[in-house]
Chains A and B, each alone.
Chain A
Amino acid sequence: MLKQVMLHKTGMQVAQEVQACIGCNECLLACPALVEPITIDVLNHVTLGGAIPAAVARFARSCYQCGACVSPCPVGLHRDAMMMWLKVRLLQAEE
């Protein structure tokens, strides 16, 4: 039950993972924090850079890093790490 926690990933690792994402949406389907429908292509596009739309910002803030998005991913990516990257970008924007 108590699996080892995985730390964050760097920006470049996140970019690599976003590129490897096949867009199956399994992570979004497994997410208990996601309220409004967001498409994976928008989420990936926004994670890579640029202004963060309001819906994605809300999602990024709401994500509580439970890791439920990691196990359904067929490619072994870490959506929680990508969301943490979005959180860091929101923090940077705040400063």
Chain B
Amino acid sequence: MESGGYLSMSNRNVAVTKKRYKADRADIVIVGNGIAGLTAAVEARRLAPDASIVIITAQSHPTINTPALKQFAIGKLTQEQLLAYPAGTELAQRIHVINAYVEGINAQEKFVYLEGGRGFGYASLLLATGSKATGLPQSMPGSNFDGVITLHCLEDYLDLRRRLPEVNDAVVTGGGAHAIETVMGLLHLGIHVHWLIRGKTFLSRILDTPASEMVLENIRHAGATVYTETEIQGIVGRVGSVRGVVTNHDQMIPCQLVATCTGTTPVTTLAEQSSIPIMQKHGILVDDQLRTSVRDIYAAGAVAALKNPQTGAYETRPLWYAGVLQGRTVAATMTHHEELATQPFGVPWHATHLGELCMLAVGDVHTMTDDLMTLTDSSKRSYRRMSFIGDRLVSYLSLGPTQPDSLAIKRIIDEGLSIRDIQKDLLKGSFDARKYFSRQQSHAVRSLITSGRLPVVHWMQSSTPVSRPVVISPTTSYKMPALPKTEGALAIPVLLRETSVTTTKLGTHTEPLRDAEPSTHERSQQPDAEEEILPFTGKLPTIPEKVSDTEAVADPASAAPRSNLPSYSTKLPTVSGLQATPGKRAPLRMTTGQFKVIGG
């Protein structure tokens, strides 16, 4: 975009001196080079080889594996080993990286403005600005002493590493996975750790009380001192450096380091500073293709709030795998390959180490409904809890010395597969997904041939013939060719929740659910592709409740009826009587050589 003289922007008073300058422009502009941003860029390059792709980031280093920072902190990894992609990937993929801070968005004229008043035009804009650490309140006494660090990015961990040789005692505050990872890392280095948790339990959003107790016991056994229902009231220092903390129980804990791991909040500054307001609520609200409420602006990663298919609430998913998936999906959307962006994200999934234990949490662990069954299996060293409705798994929590096949369990929930045959294995943690799925398939194949049962034929509204082979693209996860399913749909039981709005200290909120819906039904998560996003209404595309299936019912006047393949019995194939009127007896059958199609 070229301008002469002043560059005027609505809602902004950026006075530009009488300089003629030209704005840069690119087809795809990505703000942020976290894993979601870079994955989106690499995938967009693959799908659109000729597009111009730019990443604008304020971060001073390339994309790193942020979950691996805890290994870096204790010296297990070098800095070079933190890279998420091989060095030089951006250059090789012709992804231009600009080190600058984006101050705002002009959504009408489609450009972002960088610090210094420079503009950068876009055709598609992706906001992948990630999250920032919550940290201690500014008002807390002593929060600015040297030795008080909030662990979030590489710079924080570099700072931590430099301090560690002088630290004998450390206080870690926080009740999440990040906090426990920090505790374990410090214990590994022989530092005495005091761990302060505000709540009664650890990781209260994911773990139930027995699981939390198991984890805390494990950490105590590892040597840390754990204080629950305790938080920092103030930090004591001496000549500007930390000397200890004072808790809400008026207890003084001496230490040389205070590490804050109190969670993160999404960086939604740009959404607020956009000329057209972008809908956001504890994260930028996006649909399943990661479109925001403003045309041609997308969001992905920790900043994007997606709909939880189980609860209906919009939540951010500040997790690594979610960032990767979202990056791939939004790249498909931005490059107008919507057919590749139809894979739903499914239920939340979190797998990590908690001390010596491996934790896997899939789905919403705390949900309680009338028809929900819950089984638990606990021993000294492991704990498993699974909730299901009928034979559909709803949530799964595993704590133990080994990690189960986490992605396979997520797939079971996402695809609504029956767990009748594997319930025990899941409970005991001995589930072999590969063997199970291959047995399922071959069983289905054999029964197709030998049972003589006519497969139910469903046609989509688009009249796609069933005989079209299912295309499994590299971006979609593997799906069994289960006959009755509607392609692309999730079969996730919709859950009811007794509580309404709950606010967690980590900053994520759950919205009140809609009224109760049938416990299990298939629904399409695809928004209507034809619906236009109206920038000024701020509405996200509505998601249709049902997809009406078209059943194959042949014209009764002409078609010959077959209810079964030949059953190889001595009886002639029978024609099931049609129930002419509900409540009335089926009429007598007359075999005249003409048969009716029995629908479905």
Q: Is the CB of A73 within 8 A of B403?
A: yes
Q: Is the CB of A23 within 8 A of B82?
A: yes
Residue of A nearest to B324 (CB): A19
Contact with A along B236-257 (1 / 0, CB 8 A): 0000000000000000000000
Q: Is the CB of A12 within 8 A of B474?
A: yes
Determine, out of B22-30, B430-438, B488-496, B526-534, the stretch whose residues face the partner at the interface. Answer: B430-438
Residues of A within 8 A of B552 (CB): none
Q: Is B83 an interface residue (CB 8 A)?
A: yes
A59 CB to nearest B CB, Å:
16
Contact with A along B351-383 (1 / 0, CB 8 A): 111000010100000000000000000000000
Residue of B nearest to A37 (CB): B81
Q: Is the CB of A29 within 8 A of B76?
A: yes
Q: Is B407 an interface residue (CB 8 A)?
A: yes
Q: Is the CB of A76 within 8 A of B474?
A: no
Residues of A within 8 A of B324 (CB): 19-20
Residues of A within 8 A of B452 (CB): none
A32 CB to nearest B CB, Å:
18
A77 CB to nearest B CB, Å:
8
Q: Is the CB of B67 within 8 A of A22?
A: yes
Residues of A within 8 A of B328 (CB): 19
- Contact for A19 among B325, B352, B403, B476, CB less than 8 A: B325
Q: Is B320 an interface residue (CB 8 A)?
A: yes
Q: Is B204 an interface residue (CB 8 A)?
A: no
Residue of B nearest to A40 (CB): B81
Contact with A along B56-78 (1 / 0, CB 8 A): 00000000010110110000110
Given the complex of chains A and B, what is the CA–CA distance between A73 and B84 in angstroms?
17
Residues of B within 8 A of A29 (CB): 76
- Contact for A41 among B83, B353, B402, B405, CB less than 8 A: B83
Q: Is the CB of B351 within 8 A of A75?
A: yes
Given the complex of chains A and B, what is the CA–CA distance between A61 and B321 in angstroms?
28
Q: Is the CB of B81 within 8 A of A74?
A: no
Residues of B within 8 A of A42 (CB): 86
Contact with B along A14-45 (1 / 0, CB 8 A): 01110110111110010000000001111001
- Contact for B407 among A20, A23, A26, A71, CB less than 8 A: A20
Question: With A12-B472, A20-B324, A25-B81 as given contacts, are A76 and B404 in contact (CB-CB < 8 Å)?
Answer: yes
Residues of A within 8 A of B568 (CB): none
- Contact for B430 among A4, A25, A75, A78, CB less than 8 A: A4
Contact with A along B32-74 (1 / 0, CB 8 A): 0000000000000000000000000000000001011011000
Given the complex of chains A and B, what is the CA–CA distance between A29 and B71 in angstroms?
12
Contact with A along B464-494 (1 / 0, CB 8 A): 0000000010101110000000000000000
Q: Is B80 an interface residue (CB 8 A)?
A: yes
Q: Is B264 an interface residue (CB 8 A)?
A: no
Please classify the interface of chain B as helix (H, G, I), strand (E, B), loop, or mixed, using the class held by over half of its residues: mixed
Residues of B within 8 A of A66 (CB): none
Residues of B within 8 A of A6 (CB): 405, 432, 434-435
Given the complex of chains A and B, what is the CA–CA distance between A4 and B436 in angstroms?
13
Q: Is the CB of B434 within 8 A of A23?
A: no
Contact with B along A38-61 (1 / 0, CB 8 A): 011110010000000000000000
- Contact for A75 among B71, B406, B477, CB less than 8 A: B406
Q: Is B345 an interface residue (CB 8 A)?
A: no
Q: Is B85 an interface residue (CB 8 A)?
A: yes
A53 CB to nearest B CB, Å:
10
Given the complex of chains A and B, what is the CA–CA distance between A21 and B407 in angstroms?
11
Q: Is A7 an interface residue (CB 8 A)?
A: yes
Residue of B nearest to A48 (CB): B474
Given the complex of chains A and B, what is the CA–CA distance between A25 and B67 in angstroms?
11
Q: Is the CB of A7 within 8 A of B434?
A: yes
Given the complex of chains A and B, what is the CA–CA distance between A77 and B472 in angstroms?
22
Residues of B within 8 A of A77 (CB): 406-407
Residues of A within 8 A of B404 (CB): 76
Residue of B nearest to A8 (CB): B434
Q: Is the CB of A12 within 8 A of B478?
A: yes
Residues of B within 8 A of A75 (CB): 321, 351-352, 403, 406
Interface of chain B residues 370 through 402 with chain A (CB within 8 A): 401-402
A43 CB to nearest B CB, Å:
10
6 nearest CB pairs, A to B: A23-B65, A76-B403, A76-B406, A22-B67, A74-B353, A7-B434
Q: Contacts A15-B474, A75-B351 given; 11 further ones with Cβ under 8 A?
A: A19-B321, A19-B325, A20-B320, A20-B321, A22-B67, A22-B320, A23-B82, A39-B86, A42-B86, A75-B321, A75-B403
- Chain B: residues with CB nearer than 8 A to chain A? 65, 67-68, 70-71, 76-77, 80-86, 89, 320-321, 324-325, 328, 351-353, 358, 360, 401-407, 430, 432, 434-435, 438, 472, 474, 476-478
25 residue pairs A–B, Cβ–Cβ below 8 Å: A6-B405, A6-B434, A13-B407, A16-B478, A20-B407, A22-B65, A22-B68, A23-B65, A23-B81, A24-B67, A25-B68, A25-B76, A39-B80, A40-B65, A40-B81, A41-B84, A41-B85, A41-B86, A45-B89, A74-B352, A75-B352, A76-B358, A76-B403, A76-B405, A78-B405
